[in-house]
Amino acid sequence: MTGPVLIAVEDGVQRKRLAEMLLAAGYRIIDAESGYRALELLRRRRDIMLALVSLEMSDIREVDFIASIRAAGIATALIALVTHEDDTRLKRALAAGARDFLSLPASPLRLNVSVGNLLHHVMLEHRLHLLQQNSGKIIDIDDFVARSALMQHLIKAARAAAQDMKPLLVIGEAGTRPELLAHAIHHQAKNAAMPFIPVSCSATLDKDLSAGQWLRDIGKKLHAAKEATVFFNDIDMLDMDLQNGLLALLRAPAAKHIRLMASASASLAGRVRDGSFSAGLWQFIAQSELEIPPLRTRREDIPELVERILAQILMDTGKARITGVAGAAQALLLQHDWPNNHAELEALLYRAVLLSEGPLLGVHDFPQLLQNREETVHETGPENDLQALSTQPSLLALDESGHILSLAQMEKELIREAMKRYNGRISEVARRLKIGRSTLYRKLEEYDLVEKPAGG
């Protein structure tokens, strides 16, 4: 998880000591000096992943603090803090919903074990919730992360577009996943019971597929679509002949009752002006437009995106030892400009999870971001600075067009990266990747990496 840990302790010395121990372990911290301040933060900061709550707050001495938190509808995982384990309030706190307790003063080991274990359970529960939520369910418009004003505006416009059957153009840079938004809009539209039919316009770049064959295939799909939604992904990749051919198909009677959607990586108005995109096709498909803001303009959405993506990756990979992202790494993620947006964020998190020793992802698990940052800082620095940067490990997780690599390609790059990082030591590489030596040798040969090993 990526959210902070709340320390709600009245005693300033104890509060500071707990904070220092958790900060040293890589957690992000916010604190509260009173019961009412803790309640306010828990109500307002829904990103708090866990709270350490003292039962000895003078401003709420006459009430059961944990019960008050639960009565307010706050489900945050809680650890009760006491000075005496025989305190009757502790029994009531555990009965009211505290997940664990700590006796103060607590040792760093006891504190980290309690916090780490509870965060691990919270993560597992969150992954189970995602699994149940995603089982047979298409993403909904309201499922998009929208803490930023830009995304809130987009979600409002998307809801309106769902009720309007006019052709829709979704504009989004590489990696913003416009097809997800288009599918979500279809899911809430009047024709939601009909199929959502995606069409890849980048397929026209395949030298083995003729323009005539592609247009014939599209004609058949439009004829069979009836009242379905047909989504032309990357429509700006069509050449002028294909644009004109597609426009003729869309104007034909067979396409009269379909809901048309398309995506482009940038506004098509400039392309129309310079003559590289058909004015007729643009006017036909862009009767309504939505633009997905890139991540660099909506940084306040990144923490929750990281949380969701990380939970999904952990569910897919079974890497239960990872419990979250350390504060310094979170700051690094927030500073990056994400030229490939959501796809790049997902790829880097996937790589970090596979190579990290855990339990928290640290800055060293994102060497590409560190390298980019250092190259910016030392751009005019001495030559040895640049040489040092050249030794930073890197991993290409996206292809040249900004699309995520296949699992096989990513596995090959991970093995290459591990061989480089651990100087070709087969035993160490196999241990880090959690595979047998014989499996590693087989994959080295399969991916033509046999020249890399320097010894076992």
Instruction: Say yes or no: 320 and 362 in one domain.
Output: yes
Give the tens place of pLDDT for each residue, 367-406: 878 776 655 444 434 333 333 333 333 334 555 444 556 6
Instruction: Say yes or no: 163 and 199 in one domain.
Output: yes
Domain boundary among 292, 322, 354: 292
CATH of the domain at 247: 3.40.50.300
Q: Is residue 14 part of a domain?
A: yes
Instruction: Say yes or no: 230 and 187 in one domain.
Output: yes
Provide DSSP, 315-350.
Answer: HHH--TT--EE-HHHHHHHHH---TTHHHHHHHHHH
Tokens coding 24: 């040293």
Give the tens place of pLDDT for each residue, 1-20: 457 899 999 989 999 999 99
Percent of the chain residues past pLDDT 70, beyond the cut: 83
Tell me the β-bridge partners of 324.
360
Instruction: Say yes or no: 268 and 239 in one domain.
Output: yes
pLDDT at site 63: 58
Pairing label, strands 168-171, 100-103: unpaired
- Rounded to whole angstroms, the Cα distance separating 103 from 130 reads 34
Q: pTM of the predicted model, to two decimals?
A: 0.58
Instruction: Say yes or no: 278 and 411 in one domain.
Output: no
pLDDT at site 382: 35
Angle between helices 437-446 and 407-421 (to 10 degrees): 110
pLDDT at site 162: 93
Instruction: Say yes or no: 120 and 201 in one domain.
Output: no
- Residue with structure tokens 């030392």? 378
Domain tally, the chain: 3
pLDDT at site 2: 55
Instruction: Say yes or no: 273 and 328 in one domain.
Output: no
Give the tens place of pLDDT for each residue, 124-160: 566 555 554 554 456 789 889 999 999 999 999 999 9
CATH of the domain at 115: 3.40.50.2300
Instruction: Say yes or no: 165 and 259 in one domain.
Output: yes
Burial code of 49-69, b = ≥16 C-beta within 10 A, e = fewer? Answer: bbbbbbbbbeebeeebbbebb
Instruction: Say yes or no: 274 and 314 in one domain.
Output: no
Distances (CA, A) of 219 to 226, 234, 255, 350, 449: 12, 18, 9, 39, 45
Domain boundary among 102, 134, 166: 134
Amino acid letter, 42: L
Instruction: Say yes or no: 309 and 288 in one domain.
Output: no
Distances (CA, A) of 451 to 25, 53, 362, 441: 39, 56, 31, 11
Q: Is residue 64 part of a domain?
A: yes
pLDDT at site 336: 92
List the domain range (segments joined by +) for residue 358. Answer: 304-397+405-446
269: Cα separation from own chain's centroid = 31
Q: Is residue 455 part of a domain?
A: no
Instruction: Say yes or no: 335 and 241 in one domain.
Output: no
Domain boundary among 88, 103, 134: 134
Instruction: Say yes or no: 342 and 246 in one domain.
Output: no
Check residue 84 and report its DSSP letter.
Answer: -
The segment with the largest mean pLDDT, out of 53-62, 206-215, 251-260, 398-407, is 251-260
